[in-house]
Amino acid sequence: MQRLALAAVILAACGTPHRGAGDDTGGDDMPGKQDAAIDVAIDTSQTGDDGGTDSNGGTDSGGGMDSGGGMDSGGGMDSGGGMDSGGGVDAAVGPITGGPCLSGASGKTGYRIRWAGNGSGTTAYPVYEVNGFPDKSRDKAGAYGYQIGFTPRWEDPFLGAGGLVLNSSSFVDLELTTAGLSSISNVTLSILGRSYNTTASGSFHWQTFEGTGTTPTNFVSNSAPYQWYSADMTTEMSAGNSGVLLRIKAGPNSGALIVNRIELCVTAS
């Protein structure tokens, strides 16, 4: 009897076999901590729709090198900018990279300068704003006169932003190159300013080694504020020319202009 009682006590103390501390209620799960770790690894609340390598994080469709960022279809070197799917130069821009023209002319900005000074009657000097041509090795603007000792003059700071006085005794030269362009379909020459004459409107004309052109008489108003005045000079500038010299003069009618900006708007390939 004593032996039977002892056996009963031992069996009661041991009880039935049990699972490890990390087990779930399933019948075939791996026991203990290893099973719990695997549950966490495959739980969609940990690495499913909201994290890890899923649809919203890591290297998925919403982040990293995915369709919404990095080197993807929406940024970086993708189809929306930079060196895109067209290769090299964005097909929507072409080889001219100066961006939209301030004058509103068609094409892209091939070249633009602004004339600045330190007050009425001071020396005018060019501020280089844009060179959008493929080859920028030739990039110079200056105002010159027909008389010895000529000094470019900056005036008209009260009726507008002020600018270079361009009259019958002076001219502007732009030294450029169209090397790297295979063809040019349009060039628009624009100036921002007004006629510097209280009683008459003005005009301007230009010349290159390839031809000359002029605006109509009374083309440039003498009233404020300043406006853009644009003229077609496509036939005076060809592609692949490494020595372009564009000369701009006032006249023939009013004899004087205030020129705040000069812009070339170009469509090319």
Whether residue 247 lies inside any domain: the answer is yes
Whether residue 235 lies inside any domain: the answer is yes
Radius of gyration of the chain, Cα coordinates, nearest whole angstrom:
37
Environment class of 238 (CB within 10 Å of its CB; exposed 0-12, middle 13-18, buried 19+)? middle
Number of domain units in the chain: 1
Could you report the per-residue pLDDT of 200-257, keeping only the tens digit for each?
Answer: 999 999 999 999 999 999 999 999 899 999 999 999 999 999 999 999 999 888 789 9
What mean pLDDT is reported for the chain?
A: 76
CATH number, domain of 124, equals 2.60.120.260
Whether residue 83 lies inside any domain: the answer is no
Whether residue 35 lies inside any domain: the answer is no
Q: Which domain holds residue 139?
A: 108-268
Whether residue 260 lies inside any domain: the answer is yes
Whether residue 177 lies inside any domain: the answer is yes
Could you report the per-residue pLDDT of 76-106, keeping only the tens digit for each?
Answer: 333 333 333 333 444 444 799 999 999 999 9
SS3 labels along 207-259: EECCEEEECCCCCECCCCCCEEEEEECHHHCCCCCCCEEEEEEECCCCCEEEE
Whether residue 252 lies inside any domain: the answer is yes
Query: Is residue 171 predicted with pLDDT exceeding 50?
Result: yes
| Residue with more model confidence, 133 or 26 | 133
Question: Which of 151-160, 236-245, 253-262 has the largest mean confidence?
Answer: 236-245
